[in-house]
Amino acid sequence: MKLYRFLSENDTSAFCHKVTDALNKGWELYGSPTYAHDAETGSMRCGQAVTKEVDGTYTPDIKLGEQ
């Protein structure tokens, strides 16, 4: 099955570390990254979609971050 996650974080090195961690766990980049202003916090946010092929059947209770 193919899994999909959208990673987001403030525009700091934490975002890069989050994406790097996912890539090192077998996730692959999907599409282009995003960059937007968060009016509630007044900060810039980054986002990146990632996908991963794994064995099994999808169910909504799968913890995507643990795959």
pLDDT for position 18? 96
Give yes or no for residue 21 having a pLDDT over 90: yes
> Distance between CA atoms of 67 and 59, rounded to whole angstroms?
13
Query: What is the DSSP pairing of strand 2-10 with strand 28-38?
Result: unpaired
What mean pLDDT comes out for the span 3-25?
96
Degrees, nearest 5: CA angle 9-66-50: 50
pLDDT for position 31? 97
What mean pLDDT comes out for the span 5-27?
96
pLDDT for position 36? 97
Contact 1, 35 (CB under 8 A): no
What mean pLDDT comes out for the span 1-13?
96
